[in-house]
Amino acid sequence: MESNIQFNDCVHMEMLAKSAARIAHHNFRWQYITLVLLNTTIFCGINAFLESYNKTAVIATKKWIPDFHKITKQFVLFGNDLESILNLLAWMDVHKFDNTGRFLVICQSMIDEDCDELKAIEMFWNHKIVNVIFINNMSNFGAKGYTYDYGKNCRNSPATEVTDWNNCIKVDQKYCKNKYPIKLRNLHGCPIIVSTFMQKPYMNFSTGTPTGADGDLLNIIIKALNASLKIRTPLRGDGWGNLDENGTWVGSLGDLFYDLANFSMTSASITQTRHRDFQISNFYYFIILGWVTHPPEIEMASYKLLRPFKMDTRIALIISFGIVLCIVLFLKTKFCTIIFKQFSSGRDPENVLFLSWVMCMGQPTLTLPSKMALSYLVLIWIWYCFLMRTFYQVHLINSLKNDIYLNDFATINDAIEAKYPFGGGSALKEYYIDQHKVYNNWKHKDSSEYESLMLNLSYGTRFVLAMNLATAKDFLKEPGRNLHIIPQVILSCPSAIFFKRFSPLANPINKILERLIEFGWPNMFFKNSTMGNKIKKTASEDKPITLINFAGCYLILICGWLSSLILFFLEIHFMKRQTQPIIAYRN
């Protein structure tokens, strides 16, 4: 490569390099590697820079194949002129270096036209490099440093000299600090394009102004940037965004990937693919992803008679009544009858159980055991039955008022065993890449289908939908809607704004989010939108009482009648055998 720079100009080049080294020393982070790229045949400036900046640095040319380009965040570029610097920037674009890092660009030509700062700033703007200091040589002034910010014409501002440049270079190094302020903090009312879609309770822009958890937060961000908001919905596909079968990004993230939007705000979950292809902001809240399906079937009304007591209580009651029944049956044996006839002159206790039930049910009785001990036994039994009946009636009222649902799915595996189809957004499928039974049978559903799917689920459609549970709860706020939310969640994921890789807007927006998070604003927005209103319940209506409501009562009555009838005939049969006269024959 030919050069129009003479070797006797090394003094000026060394001055430029030493100025750059002083800026780097006070503004670069020493724990990071500094990448020094050169596209020049003159090395005296590079040598001077390395002597003055004695921190970790890697020197490379365009022929070098980088292996740590993803972690490099500070760069020093040496070029003979603007054309050589442009070639370096193009090479960095090809290898996907972080253009949001800190740049020091030294143009070594002594000819003013070859290192025009106005053209240089335009070049940096086209490559989305904003954290840059451009150093050139001004005739009669020596080394000068320039930078730029966002202008009122919605483009780059003219090149401006770095604050306190002369004091930093010529007076004292204390003036060399903080030379990389956060850029793009004032957009002068210029439009910011945000890709999103209607998603209650997060985003609702039906009135033109975004509302909801994300919508309220977006309004504050736009005002803090002094920008104007322009909302767009996805050009291809819909929803959060995913890779289609051709490997092309569609949805909101598709708009972002193909430069149709400045950022995407959809409360999308963070997956491996999304994290690989996009840059995410600071986390400002969290989302819970889970499964929903149709509501479980209502238990038959006749079973409500069994609901006041749990299963263990029912068993205990049956055992207690069984013990008493066994005691009464034992007392009716011949053995007990003989004993009572010998030691008691009173009435036999063969009717203790029957008399107790008669009194417990409020019926009058004409006879009681004559013995005081047996009378106490009857009274204790009456007291026990009365307490059990009272407890039962108290809890029965609440049981009759409420519908009881049968047990439903607790995990997605329960739905799979029941041969239910399942699915949702294709991005959520990535979370089950190690569970082949789920991953291979996943049914893709677009976000535009979610509303109709949930309505169909309310009416009993057999399907299990993976979705954001806050959206499901917002759906349930409308009267007459019902869903079953499976207890097993997919995951709890942080909420973030998505940017294209190395977006200059990420840094200023992150600073805004930091302040808002410190004051709890995102938390308040999400609570107001997702937890503030309770789920609306259908107004209580007078429901007609049908035969099914009395089915349990009739069943118990019929069983009682049948058992009484059977026992009645058995008693008659055995009494006839016992009272049958014995006829003696005489020879």
Instruction: For residue 266, give the nearest of 470, 449, 456 by alpha carbon.
Output: 470
Assigned domain for 574 exists:
no
Q: Which of 153-162, 164-173, 540-549 is the least confident region? A: 540-549
Q: DSSP for 230-279, please give it.
A: EEE--SSS-SS-EE-TTS-EESHHHHHHTTS-SEE-S-----HHHHHHEE
What does the radius of gyration of the chain's CA atoms come to, in whole angstroms? Answer: 42
CB neighbourhood size of 266 (10 A): 24
From CA 387, how far away is CA 161, in angstroms rounded? 92
Assigned domain for 48 exists:
yes
- The conformational region for residue 14 under phi > 0 = left, psi -120 to 50 = alpha, else beta, is alpha
Using alpha carbons, list the distances in angstroms from residue 170 to 19, 28, 525.
Answer: 9, 20, 51
Assigned domain for 546 exists:
no
Assigned domain for 415 exists:
yes
Assigned domain for 545 exists:
no
- What integer pLDDT is reported at residue 59 of this predicted model? 86
Contact 123, 139 (CB under 8 A): no
Contact 251, 480 (CB under 8 A): no
From CA 197, how far away is CA 260, in angstroms rounded? 14
Assigned domain for 266 exists:
yes
- What integer pLDDT is reported at residue 352 of this predicted model? 57
Q: What is the mean pLDDT of residues 417-429?
A: 91
Q: What is the token pair recorded at 440?
A: 């291979």
- What integer pLDDT is reported at residue 354 of this predicted model? 61
- What integer pLDDT is reported at residue 69 of this predicted model? 62
From CA 158, how far away is CA 188, in angstroms rounded? 15
191 and 68 in one domain?
no
439 and 339 in one domain?
no
254 and 351 in one domain?
no
Residue 231: φ, ψ to 5°? -95, 135
Q: What is the token pair recorded at 120?
A: 């240089």
- The conformational region for residue 188 under phi > 0 = left, psi -120 to 50 = alpha, else beta, is left
DSSP, collapsed to helix, strand or coil, labels residue 59 as strand
From CA 489, how far away is CA 300, in angstroms rounded? 30
From CA 535, how far away is CA 311, in angstroms rounded? 31
423 and 353 in one domain?
no
Q: What is the mean pLDDT of residues 48-72?
A: 80
Is the model more confident about 536 or about 474?
474
Q: DSSP for 392-445, please give it.
A: HHHHHHHHHHS--BPP--SSHHHHHHTT--EEE-TTGGGGGTT-HHHHTTPEE-
Is the model more confident about 111 or about 400?
111
270 and 237 in one domain?
yes
543: confidence class by pLDDT, cuts 50, 70, 90: low
Domain that holds residue 169: 7-176
Give the domain-ending residue among 490, 506, 527: 490
Q: What is the mean pLDDT of residues 372-388?
A: 72
- What integer pLDDT is reported at residue 560 of this predicted model? 78
Encoded amino acid at 308, one letter: P
372 and 256 in one domain?
no
118 and 201 in one domain?
no
470 and 411 in one domain?
yes
Task: Report DSSP state, residue 156.
Answer: B
Q: Is the pLDDT of residue 514 over 50?
A: yes
- What integer pLDDT is reported at residue 4 of this predicted model? 46
Q: Which of 35-49, 197-211, 349-363, 481-495 is the least confident region? A: 349-363
Q: What is the CATH number of the domain that holds 478?
A: 3.40.190.10
354 and 417 in one domain?
no
Instruction: For residue 85, give the nearest of 93, 77, 76 by alpha carbon.
Output: 77
561: confidence class by pLDDT, cuts 50, 70, 90: confident
Residue 35: φ, ψ to 5°? -95, 120
* Number of domains forming the structure of the chain: 4
338 and 388 in one domain?
yes
Q: Is the pLDDT of residue 270 over 60?
A: yes
Assigned domain for 321 exists:
yes
The runs of H, that is alpha helices, within 450-505 are 450-458, 469-475
Burial of 117 (0-12, 13-18, 19+ CB in 10 A): buried
Task: Report DSSP state, residue 583.
Answer: P
Q: Is the pLDDT of residue 370 over 70?
A: no
411 and 292 in one domain?
yes
Instruction: For residue 284, give the nearest of 525, 566, 3, 575 by alpha carbon.
Output: 525
Q: Is the pLDDT of residue 449 over 60?
A: yes
Give the domain-ending residue among 398, 432, 451: 398
Give the domain-ending residue among 398, 423, 448: 398
Instruction: For residue 111, give the nearest of 74, 138, 78 by alpha carbon.
Output: 138
430 and 373 in one domain?
no
Assigned domain for 2 exists:
no
Q: Is the pLDDT of residue 578 over 80?
A: no
